[in-house]
Every structure is written in structure tokens, then in C-alpha cells.
Structure 1
Amino acid sequence: MTDDDRSPEEEFQELIRQLFGGGADGIDPEQLSRLTGLGIDPAMMQTVMRHLQGAFEGDGEISWDLAQRQALHIANQDGLGVTTGQRTDLDQAFALATLWLSEATTISDLAQPPRALTRGGWVEATLPVWQELAEPVATSIADALTSALSEQAPDDMQNLVQGAGRLMRSVGGSLFATQLGQVVGRLSLEVVSGGDVGIPLLPSGDAAILPQNFADFGRDLEIPEDQLALYIATRELAHARLFRHARWLRLHVISQVTDFARGIHVDTEALEDLASRFDPSQPEELRNALESGALLPARSDAQTAALTRLENLLATIEGWVDVVTAEATTRLPTAERIAEAVRRRRAVGGPAEQALGSLVGLEIRPRRMREAAAMWRAVTDAVGVAARDALWDYPDFMPTSDDIDDPAALVARLEARARGEEPARDAFDDALEQLLAGGDDASESGASEDAARGASAEGAAESDESAPDDGTGEDRGGDERPV
């Protein structure tokens, strides 16, 4: 069969074979012109083939460099940096904020000075965290594209499809990385400080402010810029001090965010529907599908529970920061107005933050921040600043969601601890004591069920088969227990 006898479909298959066979360097323009029978623009197809071959020659991994380049392109569009005057003003604001915070918290100062970041600097400093958050979703999209290609290709194309798996992963992942770069780039035009988004994007102990974004943040507040800078500096230092002091906290937050992200899977039906009517000359539809969240299915029950835990954790952190900042800025006449503007801004979220929620399915909002702040105020009034801040010393001390709901119970426990009283026993204490004292053996020797569940230490010691009261917590009869 000559080239002239081929159908448009056969011409297209031959082009694919050339691409996957490494022969796409010199595709004949006349051959491309025959694709008009398929309704495909030959010039556009030649460009697409060139990009596809470049992706095919890659290693199949997601190119996060695309995300960084896209984000930096948006962040650096104005070409402005941080002036010497802005750095001087921020240094003075941070110095005064440090003095004020020393009166509002016992958590120590940072080991390194805070910074004035450009938008591009913020992108470079925070992108590793965005990548960690987005990688599970990008992998899911790449896998879904590969699966959809395999299921829909004709039988005589399956061998080619098997060789195209790496290509589709690269193309799908790169497409997502580009969209993430656009979202992070737009975020860089909105964020004011390192802790502005809610999750710890900067390394622990780092504090930073983006002076380029001050004007937009304070435009409608009619507040002098020096007062605005002083409040934001105080809040940023409080946030950074907390994460430096509680070194486990950053990993705790990031782990909960990534656990949520790993539960996200692409809606394959929506993806297949989009692919069936996708016009390569109109890429806006695919971009809109990614940014609108159309490819992400509804949250599962497990994801909803994970999101609730994350929101409570962020609210607990932000509530503490809110209270400490309020105490530190009592000398600032406009502090309350700025604080309310910060809360409203976090509650509503900007366009970029909303796009991020659609892209990875996560809205990073401490919805219970007001309730958490009320809890921290109650704790401060009852036991003082030092006892309040000591709750961040270990993960087990940190207030829970139940404490946000019932601050009085938390206050009662802290007051009892301050008086040197033992906390009230509960079912967990009884069960733990039974386990350590060999209560199971006592039950096997004929003890009543109630005694087995909550036997006192003295009663356990009197049991012949209980562990000796030697402080080791070991049970001599443990070898006889069924596994």
C-alpha cells in the first residue's frame, strides 16, 4: 500500500509509530497535511508532536521545574525587589515586635533574624512544601491518564500504548505541575508573611515578610503602613517562635496535610468525558477543569475526618498566635482593626487560595480559630502565660478538639495540676493499671470482671499471679497469656 492509499486514521497511527520509535525528528509536512481528514490542524499537530517527543525522552518523572518556572514568571513580572528603605523599616518593626513578644510569651526568640522576602524569594522558599502537598494528586492524574489511554486504545495499538505509559505520566504530571506553578505564582502576589497561608511553608524558626504586598493588604484599612508592618511583624514572629519551640509541630502539620492529599484520586469518569471531547487547539477547557476541581471526586468520609482534624490543629495554632499577638500589641492603637482584617482575610481566602483548594481539594482554613482563641484566653487568665505556653512542650500536652469545645474542663485540669493534685482517674487509667498489674491473670484465677477491669494497685499486689511492685511494669505470668 502506498502513502496515497492510506486513510487519515492510518496516517495518524503511522505518526504515532514514528514518535514512539524515535523517528519524529523529521516528520514530513506533506504527511501531516493528510490529517485534515481527521479535522486536525497539521501545524498544531507538528508542535504537539515535538513537545510529546520531548516528554517521551524524559524519565517519566514529574518535572517540578515547570512549576517553579511558571511560579517565578508570575511572581517576578513587576521586576520589583525589596528596597533598602523597606528593609530598614521592617528591621525596626521586627526589633520592636521582639521586645513586645518577650512580655506576652515565655517562648524564646528566634535563632536567626527575620527576613524581608521578594515574591520570587517566597516562591523559591516555599515550593518544596507545595510539591510535597501536590505530588500525590499529580501522581493520581498521571496514573489516570495512563489507564484511560490503555482502556480506550484499539487492540492493534496496545503495543504502542504500553510503550507510551512513561510518556503519559510525564505529560499528565507536567500539566499538573504547570497549573500548580500558576497557583503558587498568584499566591505570591497576595501573601504578606511566611505564616500567612496557615501551614508552615518556611523552615522551622524562619520568619519573613513580603513588603511588596503590603499596599494591597492595607489599601482599604486606612492604617499607617508602619503600624501595619509592626502588627504583621509581631504576628509573624509569634508564629515562627511557636514552630521553633515545638519542633515536632511542623512535621505534625505537614503529615496531616499530606495524609489528606494521598487520599485524593482523580475522577476517571470525568477525565474520560473530558478526553472524549477535548480539542487540543482549545486548552482552556482542560485548564478550567483542573482549576475548578472538576477532576476531583467528592470527599470520602475518611478525608472529611482528616480535614476536620487538620482544621482543628490549625485553629489551635492560629488561636494561640492570635492571643499572643493581641497581648503583645496592646500599645498599638490600630491592633484590633488589623486583627479583624486578618481574621476576615483568612476566613474568605483570595482567588489564588481558592484555586489551590480546587487543585488539590484542600481548603486551608482554621474555621474554629475564634473558638480556639477563646480557649487560649481562658487558659491564660486561669493559669498564666508560662503554664499556657508549657502546653506546647510535648505533643501529649497540646489541647485537643474537645478542649476547644469545653475550655472549662481544660482549665480545671491545669488548675489541679498547679495545686499538685493528681488528675481524676478515668477508664483509660484503670485499663492501663490493670495491664501493668497483670489484671488479666487475676481474672483467669477467678477474680470478678469488675475487679479485673479496675483493680487498685494494692489489690493487684495481693494477687499471687500479679506482677511484683518493683516499678518495672513487667509481668511474670505474661508468658502464659494467649497471643
Structure 2
Amino acid sequence: MADLPFGFSSGGDPDPDKRKKDESDSGSSSGSGPSGPSDPFGFGAGGSNFDMGDLGQIFTKLGQMFSGAGGAMGGGTQSGPVNYDLARQLASSSIGFVAPIPASTVSAISDAVHLAETWLDGATALPAGTTKAVAWTPNDWLDNTLDTWKRLCDPVAEQISTVWASALPEEAKSMAGPLLSMITQMGGMAFGSQLGQALGTLSKEVLTSTDIGLPLGPKGVAALMPDAVEELSKGLELPRAEILTFLAAREAAHHRLFSHVPWLVSQLLNTVETYAKGMQIDMSGIEGLAQGFNPAAMADPAAMEQLLSQGMFEPKATPEQTAALERLETLLALIEGWVQTVVTSALGERIPGAGALSETLRRRRATGGPAEQTFATLVGLELRPRKLREAAALWERLTDAAGIDVRDGVWQHPDLLPDTTDLDEPAGFIDRIIGGDTSGIEEALAEFEKDFTTPDTPEKPQDPPVDS
């Protein structure tokens, strides 16, 4: 998997042995000693041994380090924690020239989406969510998804750029001055550079606008990527029309969820923000980094990216982050599992190669395809294939036990969805849904109705209840 932004590691690393080794290698930065998270500069617990002279020397050396960085700022303007102008430039450069999409291909995609929607009507209670079917070039994908990438990346990048500075003693903040702003700007360039490179690669390999399970494009616009579909087809002994219809069905199924489950998109993005807010950073290594760095290297913009990827910022997993990552991973797995279940039901008897295509996409996930690597790089989450299989199995069993309407009714409110425990033990969840333990469901539905049926007018205080 690609290196994470600024050299930080995911708080949800599924390999505990690797985490233990990393913590052992990091020495005092493990958090248990005087250089732990409560003392990000290693100056002693509570700052009792803090020496302003020492900190002044650190800032002097850092100022020398960044003094030659002015010429490296030419990668576009930056108004937030990420330099998105630079990201767009690098991504567009990576894409290069792309031939226009023939009208016949656009028409074929539109027909495939229309056919898929017709077949999906019999496999799900959720109505069609697409209002338009389009064929995108890699540049089209970049233009239409960058705004969503901003919403995904800004919370993490903002936290990285501010949380460590906020941990400075008050005396240090006044001394840091313009240096903090410079480091933030340089960090935005580094993040923008990594984002641009990742999006440039991803734009040429994703198959649809929802290929990573997130609503990256405009609402209701079903978009397929003809060049990527053609590349996928080369390794499959299946008719192109079947492949196109299968991918159109997956795209259309995603849009049914994102268009008709009103809380879903905000829940996904809010969970990413929760993850970012839980971040804690240990800066104990900054002094040694300043002493050993060559200021002349800052003439090269790539040097700053390399600097930040060497571990200058070292976030530490917190309980809040771990919980947020687990919720996000589970929600993405539930989306993917539901789509797989619905598409298999809609196409299974109509397209002989549907099963083989589903397996191809599962292997794509299992081998760490570009979508999973990019999401892990930028957000710190890796969507594990085990979760996908378990989620699909749960939806299939619920469909068999309770039917389509009950299954899709679970999406009415987030409190009704299965959690990680339910994925491991689906029988208990199914029993609750079909009439076993239904505690909490009525309250959740009442809350849902209150949230989404109340008119947009100020609520009057102390209104008497209305008898039913």
C-alpha cells in the first residue's frame, strides 16, 4: 500500500504485530514515557522541564530549513489545508491526451444503464436513482469528483496542519510566528502533490463514478469510464455488452442508495471528519530532523514532500479514531455488500457471466486495487475484503428470511443497520429484524420521521403533543 500522507500510519492497521514492532522501533514516542502524546516535544511531563532557549534553537534551525522554500511555492494558489490547484495540475499532467468518446459508445452506455434500471426494479424496493447516464474520460472524472475529494481530504489535512501547532506552549506559539504558516503551506503542497499523483492514476483505472463505494460524482449521474472498461474486458472471455451492463447495474444500484437514503452521504463524510478530529501527533522527532536537514535541498519542491514522508508528523491511534474507522469500514462494506446482493439478484439469470464478473471485482479488492490504495493513502482506511463477504452474506440471508421490502427498509435509519458484531453473527440481527428483539427500532423510526418530515420552520418551544 502506498505511503500515507506526511508519513503517518492508519490508526486502524489490521496487523497488530506490525503495530507492536513500529511502536518498539519508535522508542519513547510510544506514548507511555515522558515523550508521549501529552508531551509532544519530549520536554518532560506537563512542560515542567521546558527550556525556551532550546525551543528557540529548534525554531531557528527550522527557519533556516524552510528559508529557501519560497521558490517551491509556484504550484498554484492555496486557500486551505491542501493545494488543490497543484493536485489538479499533477493529475491532468499524468492523464495526458485522451481521445474524445465516440457517440456510439455514449449511446451504448445510456442503453446499458436504462436496461440495468429496468432489471433492478424487480430486485430492490428502492426506486431508480439515476437521472442521467454519461460516459466520462479520465479528465471528466477528475473534474466531476474533485469537489468530493476536497470534502474527504480537508478534515484529515486540516487536522494534520493544526493539531500539532495547537499543542505548543503559549510562549512557543508567539515565537513560531510565520514559520507555522510556512510549514502549513508546505504541508498543503505535499498533500496536494500526493493527491494529484493518486487521482491521476485512479482516473484511468476506475470503472464507474461509484467504484470505491462513495458518491464521488454529481447526484443521480450514472457515469462509466469506457477506456477502463475496455481495459478490463481484455482479460475476460465475456461479451463486451455483458460487462457493460453488469457495471451499469452496479453504478445504478449505488445511486439508488445514495439518492434515496437521505442520511447516508453525510454519515460517510461525517465519519471521516470524526476520524480526523481524533488525531493526536507526537512531534518529539522534530529537533533531530531540523539538525540533520540540508536547507539547500528546499530548492527542489519534491524535497518537501520527501521530508514530510519521513515521519515528521507521527499521529497516534486514539480510541475515537479506532471507533470512527470501524464505523466507516463497516458502512462501506454494507453498501458494497448490498449492491452485490441486489445486482446478483437482478442479473444472475439474465447475464451468464455475472458470477464471474462479481468474482473479478472481489479479487480486485482483495489484491489492493487502485481504489482501495488511494482511499487508504488519503484517509487512513483500508476496506478489507473479509468485511465485504460478510456484509453480502448478511444481506442475502436477510433477503431469504424476510424479503426485499424488509431488507431495504433497514436503510431507513442508521440505527437500524447491522454493526460489526452483526456481521460476525448475522443470525441475531436477522432475528431482531423479523420479529425477535425489536427494541429501539420504533424509537429510531420516530426520530427518522421527525428529522425528515418536519417543515423548515422554526420549532415553537413547548408545543403540546398531538394526539394520534
Q: Same fold (TM over 0.5)?
A: yes
2:396 and 2:149 map into 1 onto residues whose CA distance is: 33
* SS of residue paired to 1:297: strand
Q: Using the TM superposition, give the Cα deviation of residue 268 of structure 1 relative to its aligned residue in structure 2, in angstroms.
A: 2.6
Q: Does structure 2 retain, via aligned residues, the 8 Å contact 1:392–1:398?
A: yes
Q: Using the TM superposition, give the Cα deviation of residue 235 of structure 1 relative to its aligned residue in structure 2, in angstroms.
A: 0.8
Aligned to 2:205: 190
Aligned to 1:458: none
Identity of aligned residues (%): 37
Aligned to 1:33: none
**CA 1:414–1:142 in structure 2 vs 1: closer, same or farther (change >3 Å)?**
closer
Aligned to 1:65: 85
2:214 and 2:246 map into 1 onto residues whose CA distance is: 20
1:313 and 1:375 map into 2 onto residues whose CA distance is: 13
Aligned to 2:225: 210
Q: Does structure 1 retain, via aligned residues, the 8 Å contact 2:142–2:203?
A: yes
Aligned to 1:374: 393
Q: Does structure 2 retain, via aligned residues, the 8 Å contact 1:146–1:169?
A: no
* SS of residue paired to 1:103: coil
Q: Using the TM superposition, give the Cα deviation of residue 262 of structure 1 relative to its aligned residue in structure 2, in angstroms.
A: 3.0
Q: How many residues align?
A: 383
2:200 and 2:133 map into 1 onto residues whose CA distance is: 22
Q: Deviations over 1:362-400 (max 9, x none)?
A: 224464111111111111112211222122223333333
**CA 1:385–1:325 in structure 2 vs 1: closer, same or farther (change >3 Å)?**
same
Q: Using the TM superposition, give the Cα deviation of residue 283 of structure 1 relative to its aligned residue in structure 2, in angstroms.
A: 5.7
* SS of residue paired to 1:195: coil
* SS of residue paired to 1:207: strand
Q: Using the TM superposition, give the Cα deviation of residue 295 of structure 1 relative to its aligned residue in structure 2, in angstroms.
A: 4.2
* SS of residue paired to 1:65: helix
Aligned to 1:317: 335
* SS of residue paired to 1:247: coil
Letter in 2 for 1:244: S
Structure-to-structure mapping, 1:147-166, within 5 angstroms: 162-166=177-181
Aligned to 1:105: 124
Aligned to 1:433: none
**CA 1:135–1:309 in structure 2 vs 1: closer, same or farther (change >3 Å)?**
same
Letter in 1 for 2:193: T
Residue number among 166, 169, 176 corresponding to 2:191 in the alignment? 176
2:329 and 2:288 map into 1 onto residues whose CA distance is: 33
Q: Using the TM superposition, give the Cα deviation of residue 329 of structure 1 relative to its aligned residue in structure 2, in angstroms.
A: 1.0
Structure-to-structure mapping, 1:296-307, within 5 angstroms: 296-307=314-325
Q: Does structure 2 retain, via aligned residues, the 8 Å contact 1:132–1:258?
A: no
Q: Does structure 2 retain, via aligned residues, the 8 Å contact 1:56–1:167?
A: no
2:344 and 2:377 map into 1 onto residues whose CA distance is: 33
Query: Would you say 1:246 and 2:264 are equivalent positions?
Result: no
Q: Does structure 2 retain, via aligned residues, the 8 Å contact 1:58–1:170?
A: yes
Letter in 1 for 2:137: T
2:311 and 2:100 map into 1 onto residues whose CA distance is: 34
Query: Would you say 1:133 and 2:152 are equivalent positions?
Result: yes
Q: Using the TM superposition, give the Cα deviation of residue 302 of structure 1 relative to its aligned residue in structure 2, in angstroms.
A: 2.7
2:75 and 2:202 map into 1 onto residues whose CA distance is: 28
* SS of residue paired to 1:80: coil
Q: Deviations over 1:326-374 (max 9, x none)?
A: 0111111111111011111123223574255234422244641111111
Letter in 1 for 2:85: D
2:378 and 2:274 map into 1 onto residues whose CA distance is: 16
Q: Using the TM superposition, give the Cα deviation of residue 116 of structure 1 relative to its aligned residue in structure 2, in angstroms.
A: 1.4
Q: Does structure 2 retain, via aligned residues, the 8 Å contact 1:68–1:181?
A: yes
* SS of residue paired to 2:351: coil
2:207 and 2:75 map into 1 onto residues whose CA distance is: 37
1:241 and 1:373 map into 2 onto residues whose CA distance is: 17
Q: Using the TM superposition, give the Cα deviation of residue 150 of structure 1 relative to its aligned residue in structure 2, in angstroms.
A: 11
Aligned to 2:27: none
- Measured on the aligned residues, the alpha-carbon RMSD in Å equals 4.0
Q: Does structure 2 retain, via aligned residues, the 8 Å contact 1:107–1:241?
A: yes
Q: Which moves more between the two structures, 251-260 or 346-355?
A: 346-355
**CA 1:133–1:292 in structure 2 vs 1: closer, same or farther (change >3 Å)?**
farther
Query: Would you say 1:224 and 2:211 are equivalent positions?
Result: no
Query: Would you say 1:257 and 2:272 are equivalent positions?
Result: yes
Q: Using the TM superposition, give the Cα deviation of residue 306 of structure 1 relative to its aligned residue in structure 2, in angstroms.
A: 1.7
**CA 1:58–1:370 in structure 2 vs 1: closer, same or farther (change >3 Å)?**
closer
Residue number among 372, 376, 399 corresponding to 2:418 in the alignment? 399
**CA 1:235–1:296 in structure 2 vs 1: closer, same or farther (change >3 Å)?**
farther
* SS of residue paired to 2:121: helix
Query: Would you say 1:89 and 2:108 are equivalent positions?
Result: yes
Query: Would you say 1:114 and 2:129 are equivalent positions?
Result: no
**CA 1:56–1:228 in structure 2 vs 1: closer, same or farther (change >3 Å)?**
closer
Residue number among 377, 394, 402 corresponding to 1:383 in the alignment? 402
TM-score by length of 2: 0.70
2:180 and 2:242 map into 1 onto residues whose CA distance is: 56
**CA 1:184–1:338 in structure 2 vs 1: closer, same or farther (change >3 Å)?**
same
Q: Does structure 2 retain, via aligned residues, the 8 Å contact 1:264–1:361?
A: no
Q: Using the TM superposition, give the Cα deviation of residue 113 of structure 1 relative to its aligned residue in structure 2, in angstroms.
A: 1.6
1:59 and 1:368 map into 2 onto residues whose CA distance is: 38
Q: Does structure 2 retain, via aligned residues, the 8 Å contact 1:138–1:177?
A: no
Q: Does structure 1 retain, via aligned residues, the 8 Å contact 2:233–2:243?
A: yes
Letter in 1 for 2:203: S
1:61 and 1:399 map into 2 onto residues whose CA distance is: 35
Aligned to 1:24: none
2:87 and 2:409 map into 1 onto residues whose CA distance is: 40
2:70 and 2:365 map into 1 onto residues whose CA distance is: 44
Q: Using the TM superposition, give the Cα deviation of residue 213 of structure 1 relative to its aligned residue in structure 2, in angstroms.
A: 0.9
* SS of residue paired to 1:303: helix
Structure-to-structure mapping, 1:25-44, within 5 angstroms: none
Q: Deviations over 1:146-173 (max 9, x none)?
A: 789999x9xxxx87x5244433322322
1:113 and 1:140 map into 2 onto residues whose CA distance is: 37
Q: Which structure 1 segments of 5+ residues have no match?
A: 1-19, 21-37, 417-422, 430-469, 474-483
Query: Would you say 1:124 and 2:139 are equivalent positions?
Result: no
1:375 and 1:56 map into 2 onto residues whose CA distance is: 47
1:57 and 1:317 map into 2 onto residues whose CA distance is: 36
Q: Please state which structure has a larger fraction of its residues in helix.
A: 1
Aligned to 2:33: none
Q: Deviations over 1:55-103 (max 9, x none)?
A: 999778654222222222223x132232212212211211221121112
TM-score by length of 1: 0.68
**CA 1:285–1:63 in structure 2 vs 1: closer, same or farther (change >3 Å)?**
closer
